[in-house]
Amino acid sequence: MKVKSKQLVVLLLVFVFIIAGCGNQSSNSDANGQAAQNGQKEQTDSQAGTESESSALKTVTYLGKDYQVPEKAGKIAVLAVEAMEEMHVLGVKPYAAAKDMYVNGIPEEMGDSLDGVKWIDSGVQPDKEQLLALKPDVILTTARLDAETLKPLEQIAPTIPLSFSGADSEANITVVAEITGKAEEAKNVIEGYKEQLQKSKELIAGSSNKDKTVMYLRISTQYGLSGYSAQTTYNAVLYDGLGLSVPELIGAIERRETIPLEKMAQANPDYIFALVPLNDLQAIEDLKTKPLWNQIQAVQDGHVYVNPVHPDLFGTPILSKTKFLEQVTATLGNAK
């Protein structure tokens, strides 16, 4: 019995040793930029619109559904990156935002829009108690969440899940503008994008790249090569927007699929615009060791563009689309 007790003690010590070892290491770590940036708990309430200014309601219609929101919604809680981009481009600071919304730290494209906001824990599925305590007027989140997950948010405040479809970019910015009273700004942003898109389309149509096979992919160690449907996020810019032809491989995708490398090699695109998480750039280095990857035309010609825009920009909002469009135009539009 004594021997067994001793063995038990030794085993428990092994457990404690492992846990303590890990704990020390993790506490010594810098916990990366995101935690530091998101850890600004001391907030001031001095920012504009922190108090709900009116209890009068208005109806906004978004993608065929009516939402009752305060006439002047000052306290807007933003839980998803796509909504954050709309807020930024309209020049409205959110009252509260989901912590860890951006995996790799806040992109510089967001400027100071998140300075001084109240952070809510647990990312896109937020801590409900914290959210409730903040009493937001409106919650902006994403349609990537299902109806069950949205329900408790809707009980806290009117909740608008912004669509991730590349075809709904205008509707997204318009509804956020209606809520924040920035309709004119939204109109200008949309018009500006359309003008830029038209110019780019003409430029590329006149270049030798007009018939090239162009793909947008997200690449990561975990999921490999991810392709999206022709209407999703940046693909909407490439195909619907710029009029490039939809590769067969992309046309067959309903929403997102992991594309086998052999299929990609056979599709053999001429240009690849790849978004790779900033903390997983090794994924693209690993690909470079694969003979099949190196045989793709885009790779051989040096036409693989890694992170032409920040990988945490979502791709549906007009802000992301505009940035992406600029890069694609600069790449494809100048070849004669």
* Residue 336 sits in the site that holds another protein (CB under 8 A): no
Which CB, 94 or 247, lies closer to another protein?
247
Q: Structure tokens of 177?
A: 């503008």
Contact pattern from residue 242 through residue 281 relative to another protein, giving x for each residue in contact according to CB under 8 A and a dash for the rest = ----------x----xxxxxxx-xx-x--------x-xx-
| DSSP annotation of 260 | P
Reference 216, options 203, 233, 200; nearest CA is 233
**C-alpha span between 308 and 239 (Å, rounded):** 17
Which CB, 111 or 260, lies closer to another protein?
260
Site residues for another protein, 45-84, by CB under 8 A, read none
Q: Which residue in the set 7, 61, 149, 155 belongs to the binding site for another protein (CB under 8 A)?
A: 7
CB of 15 to another protein, least distance (A): 8
* Residue 31 sits in the site that holds another protein (CB under 8 A): yes
Stretch that binds another protein, among 47-55, 146-154, 221-229, 238-246 (CB under 8 A): 221-229
* Residue 8 sits in the site that holds another protein (CB under 8 A): yes
Rounded to the nearest 10 degrees, what angle do helices 169-180 and 318-332 cross at? 140
**C-alpha span between 12 and 224 (Å, rounded):** 40
Which CB, 195 or 248, lies closer to another protein?
248
CB of 226 to another protein, least distance (A): 10
CB of 325 to another protein, least distance (A): 28
| 8 Å CB contact between 237 and 325 | yes
For the beta carbon of residue 212, count every other beta carbon within 10 angstroms: 18
What are phi and psi for residue 66, nearest 5 degrees? -90, 140
Pairing mode of beta strands 304-306, 214-220: unpaired
| 8 Å CB contact between 51 and 75 | yes
Pairing mode of beta strands 256-259, 224-228: antiparallel
Q: Which residue in the set 61, 125, 295, 334 belongs to the binding site for another protein (CB under 8 A)?
A: 295
Q: Which residues bind another protein (CB under 8 A)?
A: 4, 7-8, 10-11, 14-15, 18-19, 22, 25-26, 29, 31-32, 34, 103, 220-222, 224, 252, 257-263, 265-266, 268, 277, 279-280, 282-283, 289-292, 295
